[in-house]
Amino acid sequence: MAPSDFSAAGKFMVLDEYVRRRLPIADKVLGYSLLDRFYESGDEYSEAAQAAFLVNSLALADRAVQRLGMRADYCTGPSFGQKAAAVFTGAMDFADALRMTVEHARCEEEFFATEYSDVVTHTAVRVPEDALREYLDSLTAQGHWYDISGRLDDGFLMVSLREPLLDGLKKAISAMGGYSMSTMRPPVHARAFAGLRAKAEAEFMSGHTIGAPGLPVIADQDGRIVETADDLRAMMMDTFDRPLDWPAVVRTLKDLGVAKVYIPGPENLFRRVRCTVRNFEVVSVDPKSTLREILRPVRTARETAGTR
pLDDT along the chain (308 residues), means of 10: 69 92 96 92 84 95 95 95 96 97 95 96 96 96 97 96 97 96 93 96 93 97 97 97 97 97 86 93 90 72 54
Report H helices in the chain: 6-15, 17-30, 34-40, 47-68, 81-88, 94-114, 129-141, 166-175, 194-203, 229-238, 246-255, 274-277, 287-306
pLDDT value of residue 106: 95
pLDDT value of residue 302: 52
Q: What is the 3-state secondary structure (H, E, C) of 48-93?
A: HHHHHHHHHHHHHHHHHHHHHCCCCCCECCCCCHHHHHHHHCCCCC
E strand or H helix that includes residue 125? strand 119-125
pTM to 2 decimals? Answer: 0.90
pLDDT value of residue 299: 52
pLDDT value of residue 289: 85
pLDDT value of residue 308: 53
pLDDT value of residue 130: 95
- Among 211, 231, 209, smallest CA distance to 221 is for 231
pLDDT value of residue 230: 97
Residues 6+ apart with CB under 8 A from 279: 250, 253, 254
DSSP assigned state of 159: E
- Among 89, 59, 94, smallest CA distance to 77 is for 89
